[in-house]
Amino acid sequence: MLKAYPDARIELDYKNPLELLVATVLSAQCTDVRVNLVTRDLFKKYRKATDYTKVPQQDLEEDIKSTGFFRNKAKNIQSACKDVTEKFKGKVPDNLEDLTSLAGVGRKTANVILGNAYGIPGITTDTHVIRLSRLLGLSVNTDPVKLEFDLMKLIPKKDWTMFSHLLIFHGRRLCIARKPGCENCTIRKYCCYGLLTA
């Protein structure tokens, strides 16, 4: 798949771990395209974790409204940034345990930050990774955490982040859930399409 997607990478725009943290929280139930439109202005307005904590929640909600679930996302961003400021001296943590202690950050978000901001391998079990892993017979699990552990046993650790990017790229560009492009698929011979039930 690397030949098919040599440019596979995270599609959220960010310049530092804090921006990636915020963008990833905003990406829940929202497209990366929409998040990037919102963060283009957001990251000019809020540069440090303390900037997010000082603004009234309603103002932050207004800034991120178009990403959906904006009240909960604003609350989580402010809480996470408060902890980043007070517990982690203004630095977004670089380990799974501390990251998942932040509001709005589960294993998936933590792995996105670890793999992309810090170069620490992590498997991101988003909807594409879950669906394609099942189609490829890599796991029968739909639970993101169980699937992550299944994949950790199969994929060399050094490849965890890129593996996630490749499946996400493939799921977004060719193996689209409603209409997979099987006729153009480079990994079709490994696919169990139609054999597994959702």
Distance between CA atoms of residues 145 and 148, nearest Å: 5
Angle at 142 between CA 24 and CA 76, to 5 degrees: 25
Domain boundary residue, one of 76, 99, 117: 117
Q: Are residues 107 and 179 in the same domain?
A: no
Stated pTM of the model:
0.92
Q: Are residues 35 and 111 in the same domain?
A: yes
CATH number for the domain including 57? 1.10.340.30
Q: Which residues contact 11 (CB under 8 A, 6 or more apart)?
A: 32, 36
Structural domains counted in the chain = 2
Structure tokens at 189: 């011979």
Q: Are residues 132 and 157 in the same domain?
A: yes
Task: Spot the catalytic one: 126, 146, 157, 179.
Answer: 126
Report whether pLDDT(28) > 50: yes
Cα distances (Å, whole numbers) of residue 33 to 8, 52, 66, 75, 112 = 16, 22, 12, 22, 17
Q: How do residues 126-166 score in pLDDT, each as one tens digit?
A: 999 999 999 999 999 999 999 999 999 999 999 999 999 99
Q: Is 108 a catalytic residue?
A: yes
Residue 130, sorted as left (phi over 0), alpha (psi -120 to 50) or beta, turns out to be alpha
Task: Spot the catalytic one: 75, 108, 157, 159.
Answer: 108
- Residue 78 sits in which domain range? 17-117
Q: Are residues 37 and 113 in the same domain?
A: yes
Instruction: Tell whether 166 is covered by a domain.
Output: yes
CATH number for the domain including 168? 1.10.1670.10
Distance between CA atoms of residues 83 and 53, nearest Å: 10
Distance between CA atoms of residues 82 and 104, nearest Å: 13
Q: How do residues 185-196 score in pLDDT, each as one tens digit?
A: 988 888 986 444
Sequence length of the chain is 198
Instruction: Tell whether 10 is covered by a domain.
Output: no
Q: How do residues 166-187 score in pLDDT, each as one tens digit?
A: 999 999 999 998 888 998 898 8
Q: How many CB atoms lie within 10 A of CB 157?
A: 11
Q: Are residues 134 and 183 in the same domain?
A: yes
Q: Is 126 a catalytic residue?
A: yes
Q: Are residues 35 and 87 in the same domain?
A: yes
pLDDT at 198: 36
pLDDT at 1: 81
Q: Are residues 61 and 151 in the same domain?
A: no
Domain boundary residue, one of 117, 145, 164: 117
Q: Are residues 61 and 26 in the same domain?
A: yes
